[in-house]
Each structure stands twice: as structure tokens, then as C-alpha cells.
Structure 1
């Protein structure tokens, strides 16, 4: 479905923040290891809050007549964390099933992806495993997710090219459509210092089955616009951007949500869409329903 959407739609919406919104919800406490994922089982109030967030995004896309990408909350569900958390061993497929059940029967297409996160801290590239270790580490989860009804796999918030290549190898071998999302800094580079065009080219050149395309997330569109010319980012198909133009490492662990005015943020996203041809637009930390609605209003 991902390839079909890219072929037939110039603008595709992607979800804005989910976990970060739940973190700020009174009475909701995230799991210390798996964040919001266990809410698929309950308690009822937390589950309902999460369902409400997804439904808000679905309804906004439907009103706009635009396709939408949603992702199952599987970002931290590698085998070691699942075992340490003591949750059901079926939590990966259960999380995908939870989200696919929310998909509407009518309206614009809604594609459901399954997330894979980095082994370590997504803001500390020096802690990332090398490529071979990363492939071994991520393969069990990738294989499990590839057997689900997810339409695609998305490796998200990867700060290191070497680990991104490892998880891409695992995803390429799975046979499932997939994309790779880098975490980039204020200089427009992957957090390990690799220029973003070089990072994408390295993976493309190293893989038998390259990804459908690349994303960046947990960054700000201004950082890309300030450091890349049209043509530099031809393989970049998506961005899920922070609401704030502050450095992501300064935002990590902030006591309160930080965000620039929605109109300013959306204008930068529109510029990235028009000047660089980035088709999939969504949000990350500090974003919510008004951000998605602003993206839905982009023309061009």
C-alpha cells in the first residue's frame, strides 16, 4: 500500500504525536520501558485516551480527503525489552491488531505501519551498535512484525547510519515494504554527523532491496531547509517533525510541551513539501491535532 500511495498522491498525512500526548494526559502514566504500548491491554482510561488520539487523526484526514499513515506502537518492542517488561510475548502482533481494528471501512486510505526503534538512546549515536550487531538485534522483531497485517515497516528515530543499515538489512530480508527514518540535528545531518544525502545513498548502495524511501523524525523542517538545496533530498519521502525549532537534545525530558506557533511550523512543512517534494507530512514531539489539520490545508 505504501508504494501505491506514493505513486497516486502528492500529499499524504502521517500521524502526529501519540506517546508524548499521553505523557501529558492527567491520570495516565507511561510504562517505564515500553511507554504507551501496554495501554492496548488497558487500563480502560489510558486505552480510551490512546484510541481517541488515533481517531482524531483519522477523522482529520477523512475531512481533508487525504490518505493517512498510522503506526502501531511497537517502537520499543524488541525481544529484550519485551522480556524485561514481563508483558505478553504476543505484544508485537497484538499492537498491530489493535491499530488495524481502528482503521475505518470508508473514506481515504489509511495505511498501518509497524515501528522498530533503535537499540539504545535515539539521541546518542555513539551508543549505537555496529551494522552486523544491529541486524542480529533487530531481526527477531522485524520477522515477527512482517508476519502481521501491517502494510509496511518503519525503522524510526535512528541516530546512526551503521545501525540503520543493520535494521534495513533485516527489513529487506523480511519481504515487507519498509522505510527508514533518521533522527537529524540542527545542521540537517544524521545525529552521527553523516550528511543526510550521504546516509540515504549509503543504504541504497548497500542493500539488495532498498527501502521505499526515507523519513526524518524528531527534528524540525527548518533544519533541512537551511542546509539542503532542492535535489539533495530526492529519496526523502517523509518527515514527522517536532513542533519546536529547538535542538532535539534540549527538548528531551522537558517538563512541559514546547512548540512554535502552528502556522509557522506548517509554513516550513509546506516549504519542504513544495521545494523538496517531501510527500508524507506528520508530527513528532510537541505536535497534536491542530498540527495535522494545518498540514491537511497545505496546497501545492
Structure 2
């Protein structure tokens, strides 16, 4: 499904923030290490709030007549974190089932919706110095990736990766499954992966090293302006998506902020439209500091 969407649709929407929006709601408490994932089991009010956020994104895409990518909340759900949290061992599979069931019970005639399964970095997504090397990353991430590959998820997405080495190990594990995969780097104000590697070089390194390269590459937890200032057309041919922060501040400065920070939605959306036009990036969505208004602004690019 993912490959078909990329082939046939020049503009595809991706979800904006979910966990961060839930964090700001009164009465909703996120898990200290698994964030919003345990909410698939309840309490009912919190689960309903999460469902409503996903459905808002579905409705926005439907009104615009645009395909949509949603991702199950499986980010950083490795075996050790699951065991320490005391949640069901099946939580990865259950999280995918939660979202695919939501999608599959929508009324007929909806726009195409692809459901992905997330994988996150082993450590701090803003600390490339703490990231594992490729071999360690492959060994660490393989169990979760194999579990997710056995679910009905349409694709796998490794997200918020601060290091090319860890991305390579993750991509090796994903290449050993039958699911299409996407690799998403966390980039800084200079447009480079946080380990200092220029984004085009990072993409080439993975493409050259893998027997089955990813379907494409993303960036997330960054601002579109940073890429616009760093690269000229033709340098980002394999970049198929961005889930951008609402703020143009350095992502490391935003980490742990007590309140949501965001630039004006119009300014943000204009930069996203420029990235879409100049670098032919088809998938546009949001990350930290984004909400329903941001997705609505992205939907307006098609009009």
C-alpha cells in the first residue's frame, strides 16, 4: 500500500502530534517510559481522547481528499522497557491492532489510510553520542521489528534517529522482513543528522549498504526551514516525508519544554509547501508542537 501511495499521489498527509497533545489534556497521564501506548488499554476517557485525535486527522484528510499515514504508538517499545513497565508482553501487537481496527471500522468510501508501526532509537533521540553502532542496533531492534512485521501494519517506520550508524542497524533488521520500511532522521538547524552527517550522505550510506533499501527517507522533530536553507533541489531525491516541529527553535532546546512552543501555523505551512514544491517531498505531517490546525494547513496546500 505504501509504495502505491507514493507512486500515485503527489501529496500525502501524515499525522501530527498525538502523545504531546494528550500530555496537555487535563486528566490524561502518560506513562513515564511508554508514553501514550498503555492508553490503548484504558482508562476509557484517556483511550477515547487518543482515538478522537486520530479521528480528527482522518476527518481532515477525508475533507481534503488526500491519503493519510497514521502510525501505531509503538515507539521505543523494546522488550526491556515493556518488562520494566509491567504491561502486557503483547503491547506492540495490541497497539497495531488498536489502530488498524480503528481504520478498518471507518465508513466505506474513505480516502486511503496506511497504518504504520513505529520503532524508536535505543537511547535519547537527541544524543547521537549515546547511540549504538550498527551491529548493536541491529541486535537490539530485531526482536521488536520482527514482532511488528508479523502484524497487519502496512509499513514500518524507524523514527527520530540521531545517528546514521543506529539507522543502518535498524534498516538491516527491517530489510529482513517483508514490510516496506521508512527511515526517519532527527536533524538539527544545519539540516544535518544530529551526528553531523549531511542528510544526502546519510541516505547514500544506507542505500549503498542495504540489500533492500528503504522505500524512502523521512526527517522528523525538525523544522522545514532548516532543510530549505541547507540543500538545493536534487540533493534530497530520496526524501519522501517530513513530520516537522511547529517551532523553528533548535530541537535540543525544545526537549523537555514545559509548554508547547510553535511558530505561526501559516508561516510553518508556507515552509512545508516550499519543501514540497522545491524538493518534491510528497508526505507532509507534524511532530512536536503541531496539532489539528497544522494538518488542516497542510491539506490546504492541495487546493
| TM-score, normalised relative to structure 2 | 0.98
Q: What does residue 255 of structure 1 align with? A: 258
What SS does the corresponding residue of 1:77 show, helix, strand or coil? coil
Report the alpha carbon displacement of residue 106 of structure 1 after superposing the two structures with TM.
2.6
Q: What does residue 27 of structure 1 align with? A: 27
The CA distance in 2 between the partners of 1:171 and 1:79, in whole Å, is: 17
Q: What does residue 140 of structure 2 align with? A: 137
The CA distance in 2 between the partners of 1:205 and 1:152, in whole Å, is: 21
Q: What does residue 238 of structure 1 align with? A: 241
Q: What does residue 183 of structure 2 align with? A: 180
What SS does the corresponding residue of 2:75 show, helix, strand or coil? coil
**Cα RMSD between the aligned structures?**
0.7
What SS does the corresponding residue of 1:83 show, helix, strand or coil? helix
Report the alpha carbon displacement of residue 299 of structure 1 after superposing the two structures with TM.
3.6
Q: What does residue 93 of structure 1 align with? A: 93
Q: What does residue 221 of structure 2 align with? A: 218
The CA distance in 2 between the partners of 1:90 and 1:251, in whole Å, is: 33
The CA distance in 2 between the partners of 1:82 and 1:30, in whole Å, is: 15
Q: Deviations over 1:34-64 (max 9, x none)?
A: 0000000000111011001000000000000
What SS does the corresponding residue of 2:289 show, helix, strand or coil? coil
Counting only pairs closer than 5 Å after superposition, residues 1-300 of structure 1 correspond to structure 2 as 1-103=1-103, 104=106, 105-299=108-302
Q: Deviations over 1:162-196 (max 9, x none)?
A: 00000000000012110000000000000000000
Task: Show structure 2 runs of 5+ residues with no match.
Answer: none
Q: Deviations over 1:49-89 (max 9, x none)?
A: 10010000000000000000000000021111111111001
The CA distance in 2 between the partners of 1:261 and 1:95, in whole Å, is: 33
The CA distance in 2 between the partners of 1:194 and 1:270, in whole Å, is: 25
The CA distance in 1 between the partners of 2:214 and 2:188, in whole Å, is: 22
The total of aligned residue pairs comes to 300
The CA distance in 2 between the partners of 1:162 and 1:50, in whole Å, is: 33
